[in-house]
Amino acid sequence: MIKIFKKILFKVFGLSAYLKIVSASYIKLIKLGYGKKKYPELYKLKDIIKPGFTCIDIGANMGYYSVFLSKYAGENGKVYAVEPVPLFCEIWKKNTKKYKNLKLLNFALGNNKTVVEMGMPLFDGELHHGMTRVISDKNLDYYKKFEVEMKIPDKVFADIAKIDFIKIDVEGYEHLVFENMIQTIEKHKPLIQSELSGKENRQSVISILKSLGYKTCILKNNNIVEASSKDIENHEQDFYFKPIKNEES
């Protein structure tokens, strides 16, 4: 039913208005307490983020995480939101306009200072805007393509005094970001939350962070616990990475 409703909205209003309606509605529903079973990691932020935290939201999309990171970090905290897609940035600004401790970084992160092409994919004729990614498979259909600037994360974040928390969701390119963010992670040892789709991407990120003194965790019964080998292979939600010296949840 929801899918049908979304398709109707998309056809009636077009892409930009559709995304504004859907994203604003989603944020309002989360604020009202809906979706706790479907989005447990988003609700867990309330326990994780403390007043005064500095957070980085990589793959900020339309502000779903940025809003709540900002809220919990408070006026003495700071949130750096990285989002390269121009349309998403426009909507991000609208959804976060009440919050003053946010800074939008309108570019992608990767292994080079360059320009890359990103696309909003179609699967079986259906738009999947949440899976917008760097185009690597030329055989996929894309509803819309964007040329965006890419920068190296270690250089971008070099002058930040402290980083307490990093959330990253870049549709299978997390390994590329982490490979070029090692200095930042070594310096600050933040708690990290990451989506990890794709077997090779997952294994690569876990290996990188293990070498930096992190243990791999998942959210289970609202507690961040160490992941088993079975969890690492089969877990479908976000992973958490905790510095081994930091045993606080």
Say if 10 falls within a structural domain. no
Which residue in the block uniquely carries the two structure tokens 């259906």? Answer: 126
Say if 23 falls within a structural domain. no
Mean pLDDT of 65-90: 98
What is the C-alpha separation between 168 and 144, in angstroms, rounded?
23
pLDDT above 90 (res 244): yes
Task: Report residue 97 CA to chain centroid gap.
Answer: 19
Say if 171 falls within a structural domain. yes
Say if 57 falls within a structural domain. yes
Say if 101 falls within a structural domain. yes
What is the C-alpha separation between 98 and 198, in angstroms, rounded?
36
- Domain range holding 83? 38-243
Amino acid at 85: V
Q: At what angle do helices 64-73 and 15-31 cross, to 10 degrees?
A: 40
Q: Which residue has the higher pLDDT, 57 or 16?
A: 57
Say if 2 falls within a structural domain. no
pLDDT confidence tier of residue 247, bands split at 50, 70 and 90: low
Q: What stretch of H or E contains 215?
A: strand 214-220
Q: Which residue has the higher pLDDT, 35 or 11?
A: 35
pLDDT confidence tier of residue 249, bands split at 50, 70 and 90: very low
Q: Which residue has the higher pLDDT, 128 or 161?
A: 161
Distances (CA, A) of 19 to 7, 42, 83: 12, 20, 15
What average pLDDT does the chain have?
93
pLDDT confidence tier of residue 136, bands split at 50, 70 and 90: confident
Residue pLDDT, tens place only, 83-124: 999 999 999 999 999 999 999 999 999 999 999 999 988 876
pLDDT confidence tier of residue 174, bands split at 50, 70 and 90: very high
pLDDT above 80 (res 2): no
Mean pLDDT of 45-62: 98
Mean pLDDT of 48-77: 98
Domain count, the chain: 1
Say if 6 falls within a structural domain. no
Looking at residue 208, what DSSP letter applies? Answer: H
Say if 12 falls within a structural domain. no
pLDDT above 80 (res 51): yes
Closest to 190 measured CA to CA, from 108, 38, 80, 110: 80
CATH code for the domain in which residue 125 is found = 3.40.50.150
Residue pLDDT, tens place only, 181-240: 999 999 999 999 999 999 999 999 999 999 999 999 999 999 999 999 999 999 999 999
Give 89-138 as a DSSP string.
HHHHHHHTTT-SSEEEE-SEESSSSEEEEEEEEEETTEE-GGG-EE---T
pLDDT confidence tier of residue 138, bands split at 50, 70 and 90: confident
pLDDT confidence tier of residue 1, bands split at 50, 70 and 90: low
Amino acid at 230: K
pLDDT confidence tier of residue 11, bands split at 50, 70 and 90: confident
Cβ contact 124:163 at 8 Å: no
Predicted pLDDT of residue 216:
98
